[in-house]
Structure 1
Amino acid sequence: MVATTGLLVCLVLATVACLGYLVPTLAVLRRRRAYLRAPTCTFTVLVPAHNEEDALPRTLRSLAALDYPRELVRVCVIADNCTDDTARIAREAGVTCLVRYDPVNRGKGYALAFGLERVLKGAPDVVFVLDADCALNRDALQALDATFATGADAAQVAVRSRNADDGPAGFVAAVGAAFDDSTAAGWDRIGFSVPLRGTGMAFRRSVFARVPWDAFGATEDAEYAQRLRAARIRVRYCGGAEVSCEAPPSVADLCQQRRRWRGAGLLASKPLVLAYLAFTTLVSIVCGFVIWPAAIVSVIAILYLRAMWIVGLSPKRLGLLLKSPVVVARLSWVTLAGVVRRSSSWQRTARPLESTRRAA
């Protein structure tokens, strides 16, 4: 009796988790009609960069190609504790470069605080945070301008992974990013705040007056999002703006990145949720419950197939799909291990080009 009750509780929790993915996905199936307006917002694009001489040029080229009035955009790179040519590359590209050296207070959160203190003096309407290894689509600022015109105080744009073919780790990251975008769009449609994702974050200047930036941990985005929720500031989702980046192509580097991300909490880990659903389903079937767990698995499978369709399918990616469970299992373990041992310091994730050099 006790075992049956415990199993039913597990199935209820699994159903709640499944609905947490299904409801927002259904909400976003009906698309809203986009509308055009004359741009009015002034943007400062803040690019924190630590030893990004290889990735930064592509990021700056994407910013130079933005379809938005140049007089309304300022780009500012923060060369944070760099030992390479990041600062020189930024200056040669004609953008503002702030150089920061602080061997004690290291990490993206400190770099952003350093940059915000200086760029806010220029009184931009919106500050947009873009990682130095990311690119932005040409219409991004137009979409954000329209979002802030509706009264938004903060927004998170879509984040896409552009290296889905770089092994099972790259494929898992790409599908996970597409899945996150779908659920975020749905939660926004329903009226909820969406998670911040570290890159592609936009804030109205007045937000920093109400909630000063003091997120200095390993997951600075989750820390600041929590403070925004406490201040009842909703983060909107802006799907018309897209950040594209490359996920770590090796499983080891992806796990390192997730060790830092696990500070966002257990429920924020899709691999851990998937592992829980798989375990609950297996135990339920062994105990004679079939229809209920089968329905849960079917819904999750359909939602992830939709994410894979968004990423794009090919014979190679189908092969990578077969290797994905091993990656998901490792990521689940990384997150679960974080209950005992949390990452207290910031660690920069290796870039794909660096991983290639290391392998060579």
Structure 2
Amino acid sequence: MLIWAVWLLAIPPIFALGIFTVEALFGTLRSKPVAMSGRHPSVCILIPAHNEAAIIEATLERLRPLLSDSIRLLVVADNCSDDTALLVRQAGHTVVERNEPARRGKGYALAFGRDHLQAAPPDCVIVFDADCETDAVSIATLAEFCVGTRKIVQARYVLSADREAPAKVQISNFAFWFKNVVRQRGAARLGGAAVLTGTGMAFPWSKFENAPLASPNIVEDLALGLYFTGIGEAPVYLEQATVVSAAASEAATLAQRSRWEHGFLATARTHGFRAIFSGSTDPNQKLFQLGLHLLVPPLALLLLASIAVLLLLAVVGLLTGYWLAFAALASTVGAALILVFVNWLIEGRAWLTAGALLRIPLYLIWKLPVYLGFARGHKVDWTRTERAGDGAEAVPRD
């Protein structure tokens, strides 16, 4: 009975670490560029914006050179209490305003923007966050690939690298890159669906017009990816198109990670095993793999949980002499850490200095409140994140 109990304790982290390790292994090297059709479809860049007056003008100026007769811009000023809408109009762009405080969330903003586009729909809608930047090649590549393949496409989405930032910001940005690039590449090479990340998402109009957008889910992008994968329209990852978002300030990093990770964990808890079951019975390989992906918690939580279990297994080993489960878990932890280090050497040093890398143990302790908050059932809503260099409020709502 003791051996059974020991393995029941060890198997969950071993399983999650195994999935993480396989994705990381297959995602270690860059993807090859794919050929474009050369066609120039009509595109609408759709930006949901909530109280973005501090940065919206700069974003619009960055996007202005990308716009043309075939590429237009629509901003949804969603439940704003500042001058976001006014600033967009003054810059000469189209903006629609939504005021429904009882229906908060990015999904509602996207649905509102879609309603406005119904009168003259584009071939492709690219969802773009108000703090992001990209380039003309990435927009054209996203649109051409999206319309040419008739698939939902997710661009390479990373946070801006700042090797001068505090260590916990660097580590958070590195973890974000690892999840959105390394694991995305790995999942794609294994034949799985791309995980939608909320910005840099391109939709053929035929799919966007019927998508279940209006949702309060704070990770509506993840839920949307699950929906489309479940109906056989799995999103694909396109690494040669890139979207970059400003990193959160040091004060806001914990709040930002709380919002993202609480939303991910809640969706994973609700849909992870369901996706695995549905994917194996339909069958739907991409849904099955996406379900497996959801069973891997954020890296910091995965390491914290694995270390805690390792300590318990070490105590059992000292008391009973049974070390097999400890050795199995220690091996999977070691393999995962080796792949994280290899990827850091290859590409990750752009986000994380060697000095900051050594502070990862302190970062894990710093992240404990995020997971304790989730365990206590704290709820976070869609709020604007404070970026480095601005003064916006960034406290999630509990």
**TM norm structure 2:** 0.79
Amino acid at match of 1:277: S
Partner of residue 194, structure 1: 194
Q: Contact 1:127 / 1:205 at 8 angstroms: preserved in 2? A: yes
Partner of residue 311, structure 1: 348
Report how far residue 117 of structure 1 moved.
1.0
2:376 is aligned with 1:347? no
Taking the aligned partners of 1:49 and 1:345, their CA distance within structure 2 comes to: 15
Taking the aligned partners of 1:61 and 1:312, their CA distance within structure 2 comes to: 30
- Report SS of the residue matched to 2:25: helix
Partner of residue 80, structure 1: 78
- Report SS of the residue matched to 2:252: helix
Partner of residue 71, structure 1: 69
Report how far residue 192 of structure 1 moved.
1.4
Amino acid at match of 1:206: S
Q: Contact 1:178 / 1:307 at 8 angstroms: preserved in 2? A: no
Report how far residue 355 of structure 1 moved.
5.3
2:309 is aligned with 1:275? no
The correspondence of residues 288-327 of structure 1 with structure 2, limited to 5 A, is 288-289=323-324, 291-309=327-345, 310-312=347-349, 317-327=353-363
Q: 1:117 to 1:84 in 2, by over 3 A?
A: same
Taking the aligned partners of 2:348 and 2:86, their CA distance within structure 1 comes to: 35
Report how far residue 42 of structure 1 moved.
1.9
2:367 is aligned with 1:331? yes
Q: Contact 1:46 / 1:127 at 8 angstroms: preserved in 2? A: yes
Within the candidate set 118, 124, 146, 1:148 is matched to 146
Q: Contact 1:161 / 1:173 at 8 angstroms: preserved in 2? A: no
Taking the aligned partners of 1:195 and 1:37, their CA distance within structure 2 comes to: 24
Q: Contact 1:228 / 1:234 at 8 angstroms: preserved in 2? A: yes
Q: 1:80 to 1:24 in 2, by over 3 A?
A: same
Q: Contact 1:49 / 1:131 at 8 angstroms: preserved in 2? A: yes
Q: 1:84 to 1:293 in 2, by over 3 A?
A: same
Report how far residue 344 of structure 1 moved.
5.7
> After superposition, what is the alpha-carbon deviation per residue over 1:241-261, rounded to whole angstroms, capped at 9, x for unaligned?
1111123232x5222223322
Amino acid at match of 1:127: V
> After superposition, what is the alpha-carbon deviation per residue over 1:297-332, rounded to whole angstroms, capped at 9, x for unaligned?
222222222443423269x82222233333333435
Instruction: List alignment gaps of at least 5 residues for structure 2.
Output: 269-294, 318-322
> After superposition, what is the alpha-carbon deviation per residue over 1:158-194, rounded to whole angstroms, capped at 9, x for unaligned?
1111144321232122111221111112212222112
Mean Cα deviation higher: 16-25 or 40-49: 16-25
Taking the aligned partners of 2:39 and 2:254, their CA distance within structure 1 comes to: 41
The correspondence of residues 15-54 of structure 1 with structure 2, limited to 5 A, is 15-28=14-27, 29=29, 31-54=31-54
- Report SS of the residue matched to 2:155: strand
Q: Contact 1:77 / 1:98 at 8 angstroms: preserved in 2? A: yes
Mean Cα deviation higher: 72-81 or 10-19: 10-19
- Report SS of the residue matched to 1:97: strand
> After superposition, what is the alpha-carbon deviation per residue over 1:16-53, rounded to whole angstroms, capped at 9, x for unaligned?
22221222333343733432431332211111112212
RMSD: 2.8
Q: 1:78 to 1:33 in 2, by over 3 A?
A: closer
Partner of residue 13, structure 2: 14
Q: 1:234 to 1:65 in 2, by over 3 A?
A: same
Q: Contact 1:217 / 1:344 at 8 angstroms: preserved in 2? A: no
Q: Contact 1:120 / 1:205 at 8 angstroms: preserved in 2? A: no
Taking the aligned partners of 1:197 and 1:58, their CA distance within structure 2 comes to: 22
Amino acid at match of 1:213: L
Q: 1:281 to 1:97 in 2, by over 3 A?
A: same
2:101 is aligned with 1:103? yes
Report how far residue 70 of structure 1 moved.
1.9
> After superposition, what is the alpha-carbon deviation per residue over 1:135-171, rounded to whole angstroms, capped at 9, x for unaligned?
1133212321343255242122111111443212321
Mean Cα deviation higher: 338-347 or 196-205: 338-347
Amino acid at match of 2:335: V
Report how far residue 114 of structure 1 moved.
1.2
Taking the aligned partners of 2:365 and 2:240, their CA distance within structure 1 comes to: 33
2:257 is aligned with 1:228? no
Q: Contact 1:43 / 1:127 at 8 angstroms: preserved in 2? A: yes
Amino acid at match of 1:115: G
Q: 1:138 to 1:25 in 2, by over 3 A?
A: farther
Q: 1:35 to 1:258 in 2, by over 3 A?
A: same
Partner of residue 216, structure 1: 216
- Report SS of the residue matched to 1:354: coil
- Report SS of the residue matched to 2:197: coil
> After superposition, what is the alpha-carbon deviation per residue over 1:109-154, rounded to whole angstroms, capped at 9, x for unaligned?
2222211111233211111111101111332123213432552421
> After superposition, what is the alpha-carbon deviation per residue over 1:235-292, rounded to whole angstroms, capped at 9, x for unaligned?
1111111111123232x52222233221222644232112122223333445235643
